[in-house]
Structure 1
Amino acid sequence: MGSNDIEEPWVFYRDREEWADVTPVPQDDGPYAVVRIAYSEAFTDVFDYFRAVMSKGELSQRALDLTEDALNMNAANYTVWQYRRKILKHLGCNLEHELTFCREMIEMNPKNYQVWHHRRVIVEWMGDPSRELRLTEMIFSLDSKNYHAWEHRQWILRTFKNFDGELDFVDVLLEEDVRNNSAWNQRHFTITLTTGFTPEVIDREIEYVKNAIPKDIANESPWSYLKGVVQHFDGYIGHAGNLENWCQEMYDGGQRSRCLLSFMIDMKEDKMEKEQSSRESLLKETLELCEVLATEHDKIREEYWRYMARHFSNCFGA
């Protein structure tokens, strides 16, 4: 049932003359199978012959074609993919054709780990990543948060070290959807492996996030990214436009986003650790924020904020 003859009438392997020399090997579920799976007749036929081929170690073109049929029926079967790679290497097959087959399988199974892993191995063998970023972009156009596609893209970038235009690509995704946590993660990944978080980059990134957050102040993704950025310098305050004043202005303007309040607590905790003289007033403000979160703006995590209030009192109280 391979991709080249998908419209041809299906012929069971047991009825194919070229397979007459092979004795199929049925699946052995043991004498006391608890839940016997009702496989289709075609599925049973294909996998009985696959087990037979694998048991005798046949590495042939017909075995390769058989793996294609098996994978079209179950693309998540690791054993079939592994055996297919063994055949490809033994026969010295044209890997361009394999990339085409793999792309077709990814299009049909975009969230299947085994398909993406196979693709990675083939790219490694070829040493040619030229198609891969475009492939992931195609998948992102259907699902911008596909974990397997992001993992593949990061592997390509990390392995072949070609980050040209990656931040521009991330900008486009975040312009389309500022809630795309995968894109925020990719931004941090790219900077980490290129320029690093130098003081200039930190300034730039804080301003970038400050422009993004007002688009949806309750969106946790840019707030999480901001926390990741500020971890690269010593302290939240007095850096890149004064984050404390920025947050306070939003708060004074009536914003009560859980993300905003949580970030303000983080900043106050940081100040309490460094400025003993102002601890008393900072602790009072922090406990008030914890109370507001527990009772109004993050009630589902009430017990967490009660716990944090006790923690702050124990650490910074008189």
Structure 2
Amino acid sequence: MSDSGDSDVAWTYYKDRPEWSDVTPVPEDEGPNLVVVIAHSEKFVDVYDYFRAVLKNNERSERALHLTKDAVELNPANYTVWQYRRDLLKALGTDLRQELDYVEVVIKNSPKNYQVWHHRRVLVEWLQDPSQELELTRDALMQDPKNYHAWQHRQWAIKTFGLYEKEMDFVDHLITDDVRNNSAWNQRYFVMNNYLGWSDLNVQKEICYALEKIKFIKNNESAWNYLRGVLIHDKRGEGVSGNGVVTSFCEELYKNKCRSPYLLAFLIDICNEAIKKEETSCLHNATRAIELCQALAGKYDKIRSKYWNYMAEKFKKIQQEESNKDKEKTVDE
């Protein structure tokens, strides 16, 4: 779907159609001081000149509805065309089921177009029937698992109409297929947060789920981020350092020479939280955090070396403060 219709042999220009002879086309007004002239095809100019004419006259007719379809084919991202089409659908009492079928075709040809997904949402709201939406978005996500518009539409349909029941199975399938699929991990959190809830049992299950996926691929940012999100809801502890299973898991990975930047960053957060809580030696935690930051900056996450050097400096200040405290304490004694 694009401005490339001049090769269409069967095409008849609107200006040559007898049934449109009563309409005066309205050329595009690009202003008096053009910097760059967009080279539209003759077909594009013809269709949109007549579209502007019916829009100006607020014509509510079947031929105007058909014209919007030609306009969409040439530019499916045109908001005005879609809005006018919705106005026509209402005014003409058009069969919305047929419109759903039509929009499905447009989505398959233009799956990352916000306007067509919005049009679909409006139709579903009018019909109060989401029965096709999970299948439609599933097909779109099979083609592109990270299609933001498909995910957004899916979440809207699920939340609006309570379609949560089988969503976790769908998400688990996607994560099993590609454990690095950040969109699927985000959807898992969406289901937990809005449907299953964060009971203690569910939190522990999700922690175990994330740890199993990390164990499978340790350098997987999506699983580490999900683990962080789950730990926020862990009533047994506070933050990333409060769950003994998680801290033991991380220490074991480190002991076994794992140097994933996400593991090292997690250990830094554990040290930072321990310093704030003052539950263990602040000096020890600051010293360890410095070593981890330097390892990330110098070898394991060079692309963010400035950030890790900045963090190292922060921990060095804490280290100095704790050293001074220890010296003062020794003098007093």
- What TM-score, normalized to structure 1? 0.95
Aligned identity (percent) is 50
Q: Which residue is 2:135 aligned to?
A: 134
Structure number with larger C-alpha Rg: 2
Q: Which residue is 1:249 aligned to?
A: 252
| TM superposition shift of 1:311 | 2.1
Q: Which residue is 2:314 aligned to?
A: 311
Matches within 5 A, 1:27-106: 27-106=28-107
Confirm or deny that 1:235 pairs with 2:239: yes
The amino acid that maps onto 1:54 is L
Which of the residues 289, 292, 297 maps onto 1:289?
292
Contact 2:286 2:318 in 1 (8 A): no
Q: Deviations over 1:180-212 (max 9, x none)?
A: 000000000110001222211110001001110
Q: 1:58 to 1:205 in 2, by over 3 A?
A: same
| TM superposition shift of 1:270 | 1.6
Q: Deviations over 1:251-295 (max 9, x none)?
A: 111110101100111112122222344211111111111111111
Q: Deviations over 1:128-154 (max 9, x none)?
A: 000000000000111011000000000
Q: Which residue is 2:274 aligned to?
A: 271
Distance 2:67 2:290 in 1: 66
Distance 1:155 1:167 in 2: 16
Distance 1:237 1:28 in 2: 62
Contact 2:261 2:301 in 1 (8 A): yes
Distance 2:255 2:279 in 1: 25
Contact 2:167 2:191 in 1 (8 A): yes
Distance 1:286 1:198 in 2: 32
What runs of 5+ residues in structure 2 fail to find an aligned partner?
Answer: 2-7, 323-333
Q: Number of aligned pairs?
A: 313
The amino acid that maps onto 2:174 is L
Distance 1:191 1:238 in 2: 21
Distance 1:163 1:94 in 2: 29
Q: Which residue is 1:258 aligned to?
A: 261
Q: Which residue is 1:211 aligned to?
A: 212
SS at match of 2:112: coil
Runs of 4+ in structure 1 deviating by more than 4 angstroms, as ranges, are none
Q: Which residue is 1:179 aligned to?
A: 180
SS at match of 1:236: helix
Distance 1:238 1:72 in 2: 56
Q: Which residue is 1:4 aligned to?
A: none
Q: 1:277 to 1:108 in 2, by over 3 A?
A: closer
Distance 1:277 1:262 in 2: 19
